[in-house]
């Protein structure tokens, strides 16, 4: 998941900017029912000189039950501002 630096509050610390975020992952079936979301808290630091086009990156591994055959919902919550951004992607199971 890539999150734009300009889209979150990043506290300046020394030579970098640090953001505290939560990654939320859920599966959504073809009828719109959603699985219980997994919440993965993380914090990340980028250089203080990071431009607006720079992204925070989070890699995560997770497993979904095979009966979910619709889309995967990936949300990112900025814990400082409570703003949420999300994307729905097809599941290739």
Whole-model pTM: value is 0.67
| pLDDT the model gives residue 76 | 84
Residue 8: Cβ-neighbour burial (10 angstroms; 0-12, 13-18, 19+): buried
Quote the CA–CA distance of 24 and 73 in Å, as a whole number. 8
Quote the CA–CA distance of 23 and 28 in Å, as a whole number. 16
The structure tokens 């030579």 sit at 15
Please check the confidence at residue 58 and state whether its pLDDT lies above 80: no
Name the β-bridge partners of 74.
25, 87
The DSSP result for 33-58, as a single string, is -BPPPEEEEEEEEEETT--TT-EEE-
The larger pLDDT score, comparing residue 22 to residue 86, is at: 22
Quote the CA–CA distance of 87 and 7 in Å, as a whole number. 14
Percent of the chain with pLDDT over 70: 80
């Amino acid at each position: 998941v890539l999150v734009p630096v300009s889209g979150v509050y990043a506290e300046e610390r020394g030579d970098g900017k640090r953001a505290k975020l939560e990654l939320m992952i859920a599966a959504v079936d073809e009828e719109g029912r959603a699985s219980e979301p997994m919440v993965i808290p993380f914090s990340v630091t980028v250089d203080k000189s990071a431009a607006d086009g720079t992204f925070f990156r989070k890699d995560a591994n997770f497993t979904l039950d095979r009966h979910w055959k619709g889309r995967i919902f990936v949300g990112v919550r900025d814990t400082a501002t409570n703003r949420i951004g999300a994307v729905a992607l097809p599941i290739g199971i």
